[in-house]
């Protein structure tokens, strides 16, 4: 009896460690344990419906620098200060700025005095001194900056979580059209979209879904990452959602038949046949596999994959396995897709 008690005592640290490990694994959020078979117990409602987003940046993005015509000829205060395209101005003289108007007002009212800027560059914060100059012939103080604080566009919902009405879409981030940089999100709104036209894709020129936003806001955008956008839908009832389905891990995705869900000139998402022709399991970004559109109906309508279809869910073997992300410009019938588990593991905490 004494020997048995001693054995139990000696095993206690290992038993405690095992219990703590089990608790840790059980408590991990979806975005962390969504690897391999870890997603087998998750079910989500596939999307396929279009959504419109109005996106406002955190800070103001510099998309270019230029010269200012002044009394001394041409000067470029922004270039002289060391500012570059892709920089994000977050503060001027200690005051937070998030709009083009705020930056323009600070520069215009500077009277040529040096402004102290806080700038985000490649995930680092730096301080820069900027001295505007008076332009000719209007006398307005300028810095020679092209800046942007917002954008808008159409994409496709990939999935909706029926437990809390959070959603993911696009399968890639919203990036600035000029710099290609991921835009830092301050806030964003989501609206329903009616598709009323299609520009077919041809070799060298991507096509595009055309539509218009509803005047009513139906949700909020809460995250913008390299693997998709995430947010919250409002006023959704369970009976209005598609039937939820199981998810496929990246290891389960294989070359062969599949289908996508997307809305092209109709009021609901339809199924279209595709082939998964290549898989890259080592890519952790948004180009995990290549799909080819083989459905004659979709080829007739769009010519293949077009802008606005990003986020269209990819279904294989009865499971949601990923989303369409990009079109191959030289072959609009083909494009890239992302594994659904990569979209899950990058979900912001606020929408898990």
pLDDT over 80 at 34, yes or no: no
pTM for this entry? 0.81
Compute the average pLDDT of residues 111-116. 96
Q: Where in the chain is the domain with CATH 2.40.10.120?
A: 34-56+150-351
Q: What's the pLDDT at 38?
A: 65
Q: Which residues contact 97 (CB under 8 A, 6 or more apart)?
A: 59, 60, 89, 90, 91, 103, 106
Q: Where in the chain is the domain with CATH 2.30.42.10?
A: 67-143
CB 294 within 8 A of CB 273: yes
CA pair distance 73, 68, nearest whole angstrom: 8
Q: How far is CA 341 from the centre of its chain?
A: 15
Structure confidence at residue 8 as a pLDDT band (50, 70, 90) = very low
Copy the structure tokens of residue 19.
């219990």
> Any idea which residue has 């959504």 for tokens?
51
248 φ, ψ to 5°? -105, 135
Copy the structure tokens of residue 231.
């947010």
Structure confidence at residue 177 as a pLDDT band (50, 70, 90) = confident
In angstroms, what CA-CA distances link 253 with 232, 258, 269, 324?
28, 10, 23, 14
Catalytic residues: 172, 295, 310
pLDDT over 70 at 81, yes or no: yes
pLDDT over 60 at 133, yes or no: yes
Residues in a beta bridge with 70: 73
CB atoms within 10 A of CB 300: 9
Compute the average pLDDT of residues 323-350. 91
pLDDT over 70 at 6, yes or no: no
CATH architecture of 67-143: Roll (2.30)
Is CATH 2.40.10.120 correct for 34-56+150-351?
A: yes
- For the chain, what's the residue count? 352
Q: What's the pLDDT at 17?
A: 41
């Amino acid at each position: 009896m004494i020997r048995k008690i001693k054995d139990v005592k000696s095993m206690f640290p290992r038993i405690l460690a095992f219990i703590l490990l089990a608790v840790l694994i059980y408590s991990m959020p979806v975005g962390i344990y969504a690897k391999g078979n870890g997603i087998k117990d998750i079910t989500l409602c596939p999307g396929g419906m279009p959504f419109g987003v109005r996106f406002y940046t955190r800070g103001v993005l510099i998309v270019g620098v230029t010269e200012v015509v002044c009394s001394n000829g041409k000067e470029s205060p922004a270039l002289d200060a060391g500012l570059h395209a892709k920089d994000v101005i977050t503060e001027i003289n200690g005051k937070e700025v998030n709009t083009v108007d705020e930056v323009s007002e600070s520069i215009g009212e500077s009277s040529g005095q040096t402004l102290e800027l806080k700038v985000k560059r490649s995930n680092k914060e730096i301080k820069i001194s900027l001295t505007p100059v008076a332009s000719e012939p209007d006398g307005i103080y300028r810095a020679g900056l092209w800046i942007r604080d917002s954008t808008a566009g159409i994409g496709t919902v990939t999935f909706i979580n029926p437990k809390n009405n959070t959603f993911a879409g696009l399968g890639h981030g919203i990036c600035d059209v000029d710099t290609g940089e991921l835009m830092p999100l301050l806030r964003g709104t989501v609206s329903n979209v009616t598709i009323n036209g299609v520009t077919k894709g041809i070799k060298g020129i991507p096509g595009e879904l055309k539509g218009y936003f509803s005047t009513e806001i139906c949700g909020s955008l809460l995250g913008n990452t390299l693997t998709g956008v995430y947010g919250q839908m409002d006023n959704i009832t369970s009976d209005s959602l598609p039937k939820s389905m199981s998810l496929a891990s990246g290891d389960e995705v294989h070359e062969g038949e599949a289908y996508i869900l997307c809305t092209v000139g109709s009021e609901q998402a339809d199924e279209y046949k595709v082939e998964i022709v290549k898989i890259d399991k080592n890519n952790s970004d948004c180009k995990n596999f290549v799909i080819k559109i083989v459905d004659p109906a979709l080829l007739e309508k769009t010519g293949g994959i077009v802008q606005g279809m990003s986020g269209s869910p990819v279904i294989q073997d009865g499971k949601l396995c990923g989303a369409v992300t990009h079109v191959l410009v030289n072959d609009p019938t083909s494009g890239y897709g992302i594994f659904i588990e990569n979209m899950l593991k990058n979900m912001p905490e606020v929408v898990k």
